Chain A
Amino acid sequence: MISIQSLLGAAEQGLIYSLVAMGLYISYRVLEVADLTTDGSFTLGAACSACLATTGNPLLGLLMAFVGGVLAGAVTAFLQTVCKIQPILAGIITMTGLYSINLIVMGNRQNLPLLKNSTLFTMVEEILGKQMGGLVAAGAAALLVAGFLVWFLSTQLGLMVRAAGNNPTMLVTCAVSPAIGVVTGLCLANGIIALSGGLLAQQQKFSDSNLGTGMVVVGLASLIIGETIVGKGKTFRSVVGILVGSVVYRIIIALALRSNLGASNLKLVSAVIVAIAISLPAIRSAWEVHKRKKEAAAGA
Chain B
Amino acid sequence: MLDIRSLTKIFATQPQKAALNGLNLQVQKGEFVTVLGSNGAGKSTLFHAIAGEFFPDEGQILLEGKNITFQAAHQRSRFIGRVMQDPMKGTVPAMTVAENLALAEHKGIKGKKLFSSITKSQKEQFQEKLALLGLGMEDKLEQPVGLLSGGQRQALTLLMATFQQPKLLLLDEHTAALDPATAEKVMQLTQAVIEQHNITTLMITHNLAHSLAFGNRTILMDKGKIVMDVQGDQRKAYTPQLLMEQFHQLAGEETTTSQQSFALL
* A contact residues around B99 at 8 Å (CB): 159, 162
* Nearest-Cβ distance from residue A30 to partner chain B, whole angstroms: 9
Q: Are B102 and A163 in contact (CB under 8 A)?
A: no
Is A176 an interface residue, CB under 8 A from the partner?
Answer: yes
Given A162-B94, A176-B109, decide whether A169 and B103 contact each other with a Cβ distance below 8 A.
Answer: no
Q: Are A167 and B91 in contact (CB under 8 A)?
A: yes
Which residue of B has the minimal Cβ distance to A157?
Answer: B114
Is B129 an interface residue, CB under 8 A from the partner?
Answer: no
* A contact residues around B141 at 8 Å (CB): none
Q: Are A173 and B77 in contact (CB under 8 A)?
A: yes
* A contact residues around B81 at 8 Å (CB): 173
Given A166-B95, A167-B92, A170-B92, decide whether A175 and B108 contact each other with a Cβ distance below 8 A.
Answer: yes
Is A64 an interface residue, CB under 8 A from the partner?
Answer: no
Contact of B103 among A151, A160, A177 (CB under 8 A): A160
B74-93: contact bitstring with A at CB < 8 Å (1 yes, 0 no)? 11111001101000111111
Given A154-B118, A156-B102, A160-B103, decide whether A177 and B74 contact each other with a Cβ distance below 8 A.
Answer: yes
Q: Are B90 and A157 in contact (CB under 8 A)?
A: no
* Nearest-Cβ distance from residue A74 to partner chain B, whole angstroms: 17
Which residue of B has the minimal Cβ distance to A169?
Answer: B89
Is A155 an interface residue, CB under 8 A from the partner?
Answer: yes
What size tier do the contact residues of chain B reach?
35 or more
- Most chain A CB neighbours (cut-off 10 Å) among B88, B94, B160: B94
Contact of B161 among A162, A173, A178, A180 (CB under 8 A): A173
Q: Are A172 and B94 in contact (CB under 8 A)?
A: no
CA distance A196 to B90 in the complex (A): 37
Is B62 an interface residue, CB under 8 A from the partner?
Answer: no
Q: Which of B45-74 contact A (CB under 8 A)?
A: 72-74
B9-41: contact bitstring with A at CB < 8 Å (1 yes, 0 no)? 000000000000000000000000000000000
Is B107 an interface residue, CB under 8 A from the partner?
Answer: yes
Q: Are B78 and A173 in contact (CB under 8 A)?
A: no
CA distance A173 to B91 in the complex (A): 10
* B contact residues around A170 at 8 Å (CB): 89-92, 100, 103
Q: Are B95 and A176 in contact (CB under 8 A)?
A: no
B98-126: contact bitstring with A at CB < 8 Å (1 yes, 0 no)? 01101110011100111111100000000
User: What number of residue pairs across chains A and B have CB atoms under 8 A from each other?
Assistant: 80
CA distance A172 to B115 in the complex (A): 20
Q: Are A159 and B104 in contact (CB under 8 A)?
A: no
Q: Which of A257-289 contact B (CB under 8 A)?
A: none
Q: Are B77 and A175 in contact (CB under 8 A)?
A: yes
Is A174 an interface residue, CB under 8 A from the partner?
Answer: yes
Q: Which of A137-184 contact B (CB under 8 A)?
A: 151, 154-157, 159-160, 162-163, 166-167, 169-178, 180
Q: Are A162 and B77 in contact (CB under 8 A)?
A: no
CA distance A285 to B109 in the complex (A): 42
CA distance A173 to B48 in the complex (A): 12
* A contact residues around B102 at 8 Å (CB): 156, 159
CA distance A284 to B37 in the complex (A): 46
Contact of A155 among B77, B90, B115 (CB under 8 A): B115
CA distance A162 to B56 in the complex (A): 31
Which residue of A has the minimal Cβ distance to B142?
Answer: A234
* A contact residues around B161 at 8 Å (CB): 173
* Nearest-Cβ distance from residue B178 to partner chain A, whole angstroms: 19
* B contact residues around A167 at 8 Å (CB): 88-89, 91-93
* Nearest-Cβ distance from residue A176 to partner chain B, whole angstroms: 6
* A contact residues around B115 at 8 Å (CB): 155-157
Q: Are A171 and B103 in contact (CB under 8 A)?
A: yes
Which residue of B has the minimal Cβ distance to A179?
Answer: B74
17 sampled A-B residue pairs with Cβ under 8 A: A155-B115, A156-B113, A157-B115, A160-B103, A167-B91, A169-B84, A170-B100, A171-B103, A172-B77, A174-B107, A174-B108, A175-B76, A175-B109, A176-B109, A177-B72, A177-B74, A180-B109
Given contacts A156-B113, A156-B115, A173-B90, 9 further A-B contacts (CB under 8 A): A155-B114, A162-B95, A170-B90, A172-B74, A173-B82, A173-B161, A175-B78, A177-B72, A178-B74
Taking Cβ atoms with an 8 Å cutoff, the residues of A that contact B are 151, 154-157, 159-160, 162-163, 166-167, 169-178, 180
Top 5 closest pairs, chain A to chain B, by CB: A175-B77, A175-B107, A175-B108, A157-B114, A175-B78
